[in-house]
Amino acid sequence: MGAEALTVEVAFALPSKQRIVALRVPEGTTARQAVALADLPALFPDLPSDTFAQAPLGIFGKALREPDTHLLRDGDRVEVYRPLAIDPKAARLERAKRQASDPKR
């Protein structure tokens, strides 16, 4: 008997555009393989072609430590995370500086 097929989704979002790609994949497919099968570069042609190859991945909001070896289960939604535009610590520091220099306070 052959390997079972799983139904999974691959999700990616930009502020202006979001896509969820439903896939049927063989049992034993990794999160990274599912992202490759979703062909996200074709859906987001304005992004560099290597954007998705090493992007951080998660399943239902939980980051994966090893997406290249994480085996998917039926119903999983693989999320492709974008790099942060600014480091959260740097953003907090900038806000604190602005608030400290605000004469209205």
pLDDT for 92: 77
Question: Distance between CA 68 and CA 64 in Å, rounded?
Answer: 9
Between CA 13 and CA 58 the distance in angstroms is 13
Segment 59-74, tens digit of pLDDT: 999 999 999 999 999 9
Residue 16 φ then ψ, to 5°: -105, -5
Digit-coded pLDDT (tens) for 39-55: 999 999 999 878 899 89
Q: Of 3.10.20.30, 1.10.1660.10, 3.50.50.60, 3.40.640.10, which CATH number belongs to 5-101?
A: 3.10.20.30
- Classified as helix, coil or strand, 37 is helix
Q: Taken in order 39, 45, 49, 50, is the CA torsion positive or negative?
A: negative
Whole-prediction pTM value?
A: 0.77
Alpha helices in 1-105 (DSSP H): 31-38, 40-43, 88-101
Buried b (16+ CB within 10 A) or exposed e, 17-50: eeeebebebeeebbbbbbbeebebeeebeeeeee
pLDDT above 70: percentage of residues in the chain: 86
User: Do the Cβ atoms of 35 and 57 come closer than 8 Å?
Assistant: yes
Of residues 35 and 88, which shows the higher confidence score?
35
Confidence band, pLDDT 50/70/90 cuts, at residue 85: low
Residue 98 above 60 pLDDT?
yes
